[in-house]
Amino acid sequence: MIRARPGKAPHGEWHAHDCKVQFVYVLKGWVLFEYEGVGKVRMKAGSCFYQPPNIRHRELSHSRDLEMIEVVSPASFKTVALEKPAARKSPARRSRG
């Protein structure tokens, strides 16, 4: 069970979890994550999501009443701090003129 703690804001640092499976179910409130290659994703009460192993992500914000259930395998896993992902370049566009 993960709960928002009074006075504790999300750190917003990029990281990944060294695990094989990770599911999260939001019981109460909301949470905003950013995933590399996906962008910002907001989950609210009733949302259930699968977080791919080792995906680079960060928590941007959450409600004061956030409560989530997290199921991870193996139960004991490492969280690895990561550098900010490199900015993706926009594909080149050709003129039709």
- Bridge partners (DSSP) listed for residue 33: 41, 59
Sort residue 3 into left (φ over 0), alpha (ψ -120 to 50) or beta: beta
Position 23 scores a pLDDT of 94
Position 55 scores a pLDDT of 92
Position 78 scores a pLDDT of 85
Cα distance between residue 4 and residue 10, in whole Å: 9
Position 96 scores a pLDDT of 54
pLDDT in tens, the chain (97 residues): 889 887 776 778 898 999 999 999 999 999 999 999 999 999 999 999 999 999 999 999 999 999 999 999 988 888 888 877 665 555 555 555 4
From the list 4, 18, 9, the residue with the least C-alpha distance to 82 is 18
Position 84 scores a pLDDT of 73
Cα distance between residue 77 and residue 95, in whole Å: 50
Q: What is the pLDDT of residues 22-34, one digit of tens each?
A: 999 999 999 999 9
